[in-house]
Every structure is written in structure tokens, then in C-alpha cells.
Amino acid sequence: MQKSDGSTNWTLKITSSRSAFDLHLKDIWLYRDLLWLIVRRDFVSFYKQTILGPLWFFIQPIFTTVIYVVVFSNLAKISTSGAPPAIFYLVGTVAWTYFSDCLTKTSTVFRDNVSIFGKVYFPRLIMPLSIIFSNLIKFGVQFLLFLILLIYYVVQQRVHINNYVLLFPVVILLMAILGLGIGLIITALTTKYRDLAFIVTFGMQLLMYATPVIYPLSAAPAKYRTIISLNPMSGLIETFRYGFLGTGDFYPSAFLYSIFASIVLLILGLIVFNKVEKNFVDKI
């Protein structure tokens, strides 16, 4: 833009070299309209040609919960800390699915969008952020299903909501930034190591069993409890479940550890992503 004195004031500058700590967060705000358009596109296009459409949001947690009730509650007799098995497994499934989807889809963002990244400039963080928000919509729909079942059990006085439910927004935020942070690190590594994309999908299935999704942390053997607590999702799942169901325990140290780990992994992920995104097109 030309000023009256003849000098030029550029509204946007694209340079080939910049610090890995220069995240250009201001550019993300300037491109916020693009972010919402991508979120809308992902939501509409994914279910546009399906018969049941958004009903798949409900079908997935319902069938998963039914299988967990039959296998882990009825057959394996795993404790649910006194909570009705259906809602115990549903709350864990809904929370884990949000984190898992955020991580797995973010971990392939470079590979999935290489054709777009190579043609036009926009802040690359727009794509992983759109994944977080798109999955948040899915989580919101599934959370409504959980609320319906929760109200049913509250009326029957089989679960008891407590004050820790106020931590719910914090828990969801931490799940989002934890999935985003780890996903950004993995997607940066996949520019060199393609096998990571396959390991992530398989690894998330195994990681679920190292997270108190289908069992309370208190039911884990003492020798494994410390190891499970090192998983940042453990403190978040336990807090989520304890606040809404009033069963199990709240672990302050595990929750504080989850906060610390989530923030550290997000910062590390942003730095690594910012460093790799400058020349990843030449490697993929």
C-alpha cells in the first residue's frame, strides 16, 4: 500500500526465512474467515453423501458403549466404581474419541493438504486448527447423547454431579491442545518418516488401554498405576468422569500434571510445526 510520502506499507509479508519461534499468530486471526469456511466444509462434506448423515455421531458411541458393557462389565467384570456401566463407558468413549480424532487427523495434516499448501499461501496452522474445531462440533453432538443418559441416571439418583463439573471447559480445552500438540509433532516427523502415519492409528488403539477409559484408575494394579498416571489423558478422563458421575476420585497431582504436559507439548508442537512447514513441500 502506497503512502502519501511515497513509502510502501505492506499489509502482508511472506519471507523464506524466519525464526522457529515466530508463529505468526496474528495471521491466523486475519484468516479467521478461512478457518470457519474449512470447518464448515469438513463438517458438510464428510456426511453429505451418507444415508444416515450426522446420525453417525450417535451411532458410533452407542455401539461402542454397548460392546464395552457386554465385554468389560458383563464378561470381564471390570469395576466401574459403582457407576452404571452404560454411562461410565459412554463418558470415557466420548472424551477419548475427541482427543483421538484431534491427534490422528492432525498427525497427517501435511500429507493430506500438500496439494493446497504448494499452491497458495495462508497460515498453515489454519488446517490443524480447523480439525480441532470440526471435531469439537462432533464432540458437542455426542455430548448431548451423554447428557440425555446423565439426566436419566440423575433422576434415578444413581449418579451425583459435584462441583468438579465446573472444570469441564478446562478439561475439553486441555484435550484439544494435547491432541493438537502431539499431532503437530507427528505430522512434522511424517515429512521424513512416512511409517509414523500407520503407527499412530494402531498406537491410539493401544494407548486407550493405557488410559482409564474402560476402567477407573483406582482399579488398575498398584504397580501399573504410576505408569498410567504418566499418560496426560488419565488425569483429564478421571476429572471428567468424577465431575459428572461423582464416582471414582479426583487426583489433583494427575490433573496438574495433565495441564503442564498439555501446555509443554502444545508449545513444542507449534515450534516444530513452524520450523518444518517452511520446506516440507520439497520433502513430501
Does the pLDDT of residue 134 top 80, yes or no?
yes
Answer whether residue 275 is part of any domain. yes
State the total domains in the chain.
1
- Mean pLDDT (whole number) for 255-259: 94
Answer whether residue 189 is part of any domain. yes
Answer whether residue 255 is part of any domain. yes
172-176 own/partner pairs: CB under 8 Å, 24+ apart: 172/98, 172/136, 172/139, 174/232, 174/236, 174/258, 174/259, 174/262, 175/95, 175/98, 175/99, 175/102, 175/233, 175/236, 176/98, 176/102, 176/132, 176/136
Answer whether residue 42 is part of any domain. no
Domain of 72 in residue numbering reads as 25-36+51-282
Answer whether residue 196 is part of any domain. yes
Answer whether residue 18 is part of any domain. no
pTM, 2 dp: 0.86
Does the pLDDT of residue 128 top 60, yes or no?
yes
Question: What is the pLDDT, as a whole number, of residue 45?
Answer: 72
Of 74-78, 112-116, 219-223, give the lowest mean pLDDT range.
112-116
Answer whether residue 117 is part of any domain. yes
Answer whether residue 8 is part of any domain. no
